[in-house]
Structure 1
Amino acid sequence: MAEMKNEFHQPVVGRRAFVGGTLAASSLAFLAACGKKDAPAAGSADAAAEGVTLNFSINNPVCIDPYNVQEDQGTQVEFQLFDSLMKYDFKAEDLKPLACESFEASEDATKFTFHLIEGAKFHNGDPVTSADFKRGWTRLVSPKSAIQVDRGPSQIAYHLSQVKGYDELAAGDADDFAGLSCPDDLTFVVELSAAYADFPYVCSHPALAPVPAAADEDANAFYLAPIGNGAFMMKPGTKWEDGQYIDLVRFDDYYGDKAVVDGIHFGIQKDIETSYKEFQAGNFDVADVPTAQIDACKAEAGESKDGYTMSEGGRMLLGSEPSTYYLVCNTTVEPFNNADFRKGVSMAINREAICKSIFKGTRTPADGIVPPGMDGYREGAWEFAAYDVDKANEFLDKVAPMNGDSRGIEMVLSYNQDGGHKEIMESVIGDLARVGITVTSDTPEWSALLSKYDNMDFQIGRLGWVADYPIMDNFLYPLFHSDSLGGDNKSGYSNPEVDKLIEEARTIVDDTQRVAKMQEADAIIGADLPVIPLMFYTHTLVGSSRVKNLYIDPQKKAYLARAELTA
């Protein structure tokens, strides 16, 4: 998913420890046998205080309805309300069933059959059936769905682009999603238009959840107060109060282990600094930490041993995330249509200095677009994502030789100033000045900046990408495939060889061979350098002294149902 407007919106899992190493589970295992749902780890209710509400600070979400959860703030809320078919267990480094008991895949990876958990209910008491999954997936894609008619198109429908009938449904030429079928209430069958062995990972996305009939009966009411199948439900009589709060309570008819705490109060704050001040005042149990406060907070709260679990003596989380902060180049305009120029710019940037001076060493210099925790990550994969002023000058000399202390090139760097980006971009500007490039800042508001990117009305700008699911495909296809032009491929990059390799990789069932094919595509992209990776993200979250135990995974999803608070 695209990273949002400021440092408040940063889900992540990356770096060398996506939780200690390789993330991807074997798709061969998926194809050879069905998976069984693991019961969630039970919270120690007897050791924790019940009858309490956990106060969690967030920024105002874009959406909390599954149909359009596109950033981590809205996803945080939606994740508590809904269960999708699968979940990625970062601790076990394994993909597991969640709302299903088991699943099977055809040998050619074009058909997946999910067997739902019997007895699961929605928060309104309706049983969860296969038809509810079909409804939930269809409304993401169909422009005729009640929610899209009411609220506009989903920005995340592409997750289902591999499902048969997607194009017809998305175009409004069909009312039914041809690739989805429901042989009975507990069997959900998905047929793809082409082989895609990684599809079970897609099914772990929080947006691919079931929705009850009520979602279509009153789309606007559901949008503000979704009725899910998760461990928490909207507090009765409340809705998302825009810019203020979202209140949830425990769902006692949940099919899995019941939540330990009684409820969650999501307090909506305008920015990270305000949020942290409220945290310091004792009004929040969980909040993001401003960069300037990281050292002091770490000393006071203690650093978590694994980077993801808050507990006594270690409530500051600094675990790595599957996210990359990068500069996107408009490869359709001069001088960024020249790969040598892009390489020169990239090698002139001191990533290490940015990570150390601005982020106190809590971020890692990026050596490619794919974060280290991903299966297929290779250290130093992108040769030109490295700091080397001499080589930078060599490449830039090919485009515009130095004349005195200038190359006679003026470029425009676009970015939003909020969220701490200004300081990062100023460091980049200083580095480029040292190799003779004059940079002018273009700093529109976030929405206007996105419009510039969509209209290719820019030269170079800053963006971030957060893994929706931990596979290379989730970085390479949306950011660099020609089919993604006009969408998340903001660089205008199109390479038929890259397209072919990604498409071939998607059809390969064998894990090792599929990843190897993706690595081939990644190598070509790295040589072309349509984007300039700068750094990989990490958590910067802290818990209050009330937090006895809370796990927040690398993608920044908080497992609040298992949270334990002291009295």
Structure 2
Amino acid sequence: MKRSKIALASVALAGIGALALAGCASGGSDEPTSTGGDAGAIIKVNGSEPENPLFPANTNETGGGKIVDSIYAGLAYYDGEGNIVNDVADSITVDDANTITVKLKEGQKFSNDEAVTADSFIKAWNYGALKSNAQKNASWFSDIEGYSEETDSELTGLTKVDDTTFTIKLSNPVAADFVQRLGYSAYYPLPEVAFEDPTAFGENPIGNGPYKLASEGAWQHDVEINLVKNDAYTGGREAKNGGLDIVFYANLDGAYADLQSGNLDVLDAIPTSAQATFESDLGERAVNQPAAIFQSFTIPESLAHFSGEEGQLRREALSLAIDRDAITKTIFNGTRTPASDFSSPVIGGWSDSLEGADVLKYNQDKAKELWAEADKISPWSGTFQIAYNSDGGHQAWVDATTNSIKNTLGIDASGAPFVDFASLRTEVTNRTITTAFRTGWQADYPGLYNFLAPLYGTGASSNDGDYSNPEFDKLLASGAAADSVDAATADYEKAQEILLKDLPAIPLWYSNVNGGYADTVQNVVFGWNSVPLYYQITKG
């Protein structure tokens, strides 16, 4: 298998020294090819209804993530190639393995003219970390001193030096990796008004990023959200257009039809019905490139027949019963690649030769054998289902996957459709879902740790199956504290080999980003994580 790798700005700490990340202009493939166009033009793009109010620490899904990343700016951001670039930060210095010093640029402001200061970060991070606030991204603060899952504990590791300087003291020696995470939305700052009425603020947020809400009430639920350029933002993502209309489509077929007719400017996902034709339909405006996206389905251990020894046998049998090669060829027309691990080929540390990876290869005889062994423990009864959201173009692959399982194991298997992503996520989040369900990961930052810790670490923010393995957790911690990239990768490979035995999620395939744009726009680039760089798109 050919390995495709995106350039990364890896930060490795060798002994005790100092390392500063200085802000710079991003180059490479995300540079605009031309500077023309109407600076006031609104770019119309596709999206999905966010799961929650637009609070950075409570947003960990792609629908809300697109919006949050557009209206906020953090200490740093990731450019089109996955390099980390300072944004609000003037410098981020690793003082030692447990300590980081952050110096902010002078004159940064929120769109309501409030200054962005050290307190803007310290208060926002404390809010995100407090147990009583129940923020989905709370675990992203777990390495900072003072963090507690059990009590409302302040992050004592955050210390204000002056209005534009603060330090981060970590409880674990993971400073080098922690710096890489700082472009993720959990670490965005908040203005003072956010803490007065967080629920109301989440409906009409005030940020410091390249865009802001067009007006109060610009978020029309289940319809669209309207953003305009934020002139207060002066960072590297300054918008070359007048704003974004992000339309929440009920299905991708409608979005693709709008793209072809010129009623949509940019589409970041192609419906199954057009997978075979979109490149010929769109020509040079078609996008088909590797992205940091991993797809799977998760089987909660709370489901009958899926805990203990029986559960392990059935998970392995189900994985072996899926003909990934056939599905990626016939359903996705080769725009997906069967998975060989739990990460992505565009991430440093990806591997196609992990011990135990044979469980991801189609093997009918072995699948039947293991299913029969599980039946000796407790005979199977009922239907195996995979839940999915109908508005995301998932029906075809879910049907193909469950048909492969049904034909191999001789059991009743089918998809379980939900009307939209929000309704599916509500049941997953509330732990009321009674079937397996589709899962996946679009990387938050370009690091192998990001594909493992948030999804499978004990108590992690996106651990939807409530998986817990102490040995896996130990390897994660060891990798994050390693003094070299190679040493970290070795620990993460061992951690993945544990996942291949336990199968808390069943890996399916890696995704290319398949999308396109209309002839109405220019300078369209899709980034390392599949999201278009909206701020550089021009029109007219």
Q: 1:527 to 1:211 in 2, by over 3 A?
A: same
1:413, distance to aligned residue in structure 2 (A): 2.0
Q: How does 1:99-138 map to 2 (within 5 A)?
A: 99-107=88-96, 109-138=97-126
Q: 1:45 to 1:328 in 2, by over 3 A?
A: closer
Q: 1:366 to 1:45 in 2, by over 3 A?
A: closer
Amino acid at match of 1:58: G
The residue matched to 1:325 in structure 2 has which SS?
Answer: strand
**CA shift digits 1:29-82 (9 cap, x unpaired):** 896420111125675775333332211222222243323222112221221211
**CA shift digits 1:373-411 (9 cap, x unpaired):** 22221114322111122333443454459xxxxx97655
Report the counterpart of residue 10 of structure 1 in structure 2.
none
The residue matched to 2:73 in structure 1 has which SS?
Answer: coil
Report the counterpart of residue 385 of structure 2 in structure 1.
413
The residue matched to 2:186 in structure 1 has which SS?
Answer: coil
Matched, 1:298 2:279: yes
Equivalent of 2:250, from 270, 273, 277? 270
Aligned length: 520
Report the counterpart of residue 24 of structure 2 in structure 1.
38
Report the counterpart of residue 49 of structure 1 in structure 2.
38
Measured in 1, the distance between the counterparts of 2:56 and 2:502 equals: 36
The residue matched to 1:317 in structure 2 has which SS?
Answer: strand
Report the counterpart of residue 83 of structure 2 in structure 1.
94
Report the counterpart of residue 167 of structure 2 in structure 1.
189
Q: 1:191 to 1:410 in 2, by over 3 A?
A: same
Q: 1:95 to 1:399 in 2, by over 3 A?
A: same
**CA shift digits 1:220-244 (9 cap, x unpaired):** 4432222211122222455322223
Measured in 1, the distance between the counterparts of 2:301 and 2:114 equals: 51
Report the counterpart of residue 515 of structure 2 in structure 1.
541
1:518, distance to aligned residue in structure 2 (A): 1.3
Measured in 2, the distance between the counterparts of 1:499 and 1:46 equals: 48
The residue matched to 1:119 in structure 2 has which SS?
Answer: coil
Equivalent of 1:469, from 445, 456, 466? 445
Measured in 1, the distance between the counterparts of 2:253 and 2:130 equals: 39
Report the counterpart of residue 10 of structure 2 in structure 1.
25
Measured in 2, the distance between the counterparts of 1:549 and 1:392 equals: 48
Q: 1:432 to 1:119 in 2, by over 3 A?
A: same
The residue matched to 1:104 in structure 2 has which SS?
Answer: strand
The answer as to whether partners of 1:43 and 1:260 remain within 8 angstroms in 2 is: no
1:164, distance to aligned residue in structure 2 (A): 1.4
Equivalent of 1:374, from 313, 324, 347? 347
The residue matched to 1:96 in structure 2 has which SS?
Answer: strand
Equivalent of 1:259, from 239, 243, 267? 239
Q: Give the unaligned 5+ runs of structure 2.
A: none
Q: How does 1:140-155 map to 2 (within 5 A)?
A: 140-142=128-130, 148=133, 153-155=134-136
Matched, 1:70 2:60: yes
Report the counterpart of residue 390 of structure 1 in structure 2.
365
Amino acid at match of 2:92: F
Equivalent of 1:321, from 291, 308, 333? 291
Mean CA deviation greater in 327-336 or 499-508:
327-336
The residue matched to 1:462 in structure 2 has which SS?
Answer: strand
Question: TM-score scaled to structure 1, two decimals?
Answer: 0.83
Measured in 2, the distance between the counterparts of 1:439 and 1:561 equals: 48
Measured in 2, the distance between the counterparts of 1:66 and 1:452 equals: 20
Equivalent of 1:334, from 291, 296, 305? 305
Question: TM-score scaled to structure 2, two decimals?
Answer: 0.87
Mean CA deviation greater in 97-106 or 461-470:
461-470
The residue matched to 2:408 in structure 1 has which SS?
Answer: coil
Matched, 1:158 2:144: no
Equivalent of 2:264, from 284, 289, 314? 284
1:552, distance to aligned residue in structure 2 (A): 2.2
Mean CA deviation greater in 238-247 or 510-519:
238-247
Measured in 1, the distance between the counterparts of 2:409 and 2:33 equals: 61
Amino acid at match of 1:173: D
Report the counterpart of residue 356 of structure 1 in structure 2.
329
The residue matched to 1:360 in structure 2 has which SS?
Answer: coil
Mean CA deviation greater in 48-57 or 26-35:
26-35
Mean CA deviation greater in 510-519 or 292-301:
292-301
Q: 1:235 to 1:44 in 2, by over 3 A?
A: farther
Mean CA deviation greater in 382-391 or 354-363:
382-391
Q: 1:182 to 1:285 in 2, by over 3 A?
A: same
Q: 1:425 to 1:31 in 2, by over 3 A?
A: farther
Amino acid at match of 1:283: N
Amino acid at match of 1:137: W
Q: Give the unaligned 5+ runs of structure 1.
A: 1-14, 303-313, 402-406
The residue matched to 2:497 in structure 1 has which SS?
Answer: helix
Amino acid at match of 2:500: G
Measured in 2, the distance between the counterparts of 1:65 and 1:72 equals: 13
Mean CA deviation greater in 453-462 or 372-381:
453-462
1:280, distance to aligned residue in structure 2 (A): 3.0
The residue matched to 2:259 in structure 1 has which SS?
Answer: helix
Matched, 1:505 2:483: no
Measured in 1, the distance between the counterparts of 2:514 and 2:197 equals: 38
Q: 1:125 to 1:348 in 2, by over 3 A?
A: same
Q: 1:87 to 1:31 in 2, by over 3 A?
A: farther
The residue matched to 2:475 in structure 1 has which SS?
Answer: helix
Equivalent of 1:214, from 193, 207, 213? 193
Report the counterpart of residue 228 of structure 1 in structure 2.
207
1:490, distance to aligned residue in structure 2 (A): 4.0
**CA shift digits 1:518-540 (9 cap, x unpaired):** 11111122133332211112212
Measured in 2, the distance between the counterparts of 1:143 and 1:26 equals: 31
1:113, distance to aligned residue in structure 2 (A): 0.9
Measured in 2, the distance between the counterparts of 1:521 and 1:528 equals: 11
1:545, distance to aligned residue in structure 2 (A): 0.1
Report the counterpart of residue 305 of structure 1 in structure 2.
none
Q: 1:319 to 1:509 in 2, by over 3 A?
A: same
The answer as to whether partners of 1:102 and 1:115 remain within 8 angstroms in 2 is: yes
The answer as to whether partners of 2:11 and 2:177 remain within 8 angstroms in 1 is: no
Q: 1:279 to 1:194 in 2, by over 3 A?
A: same
1:162, distance to aligned residue in structure 2 (A): 1.4
Q: How does 1:418-429 map to 2 (within 5 A)?
A: 418=390, 419-429=392-402
1:246, distance to aligned residue in structure 2 (A): 2.1
Q: 1:31 to 1:58 in 2, by over 3 A?
A: farther
Matched, 1:480 2:456: yes
Amino acid at match of 1:414: I
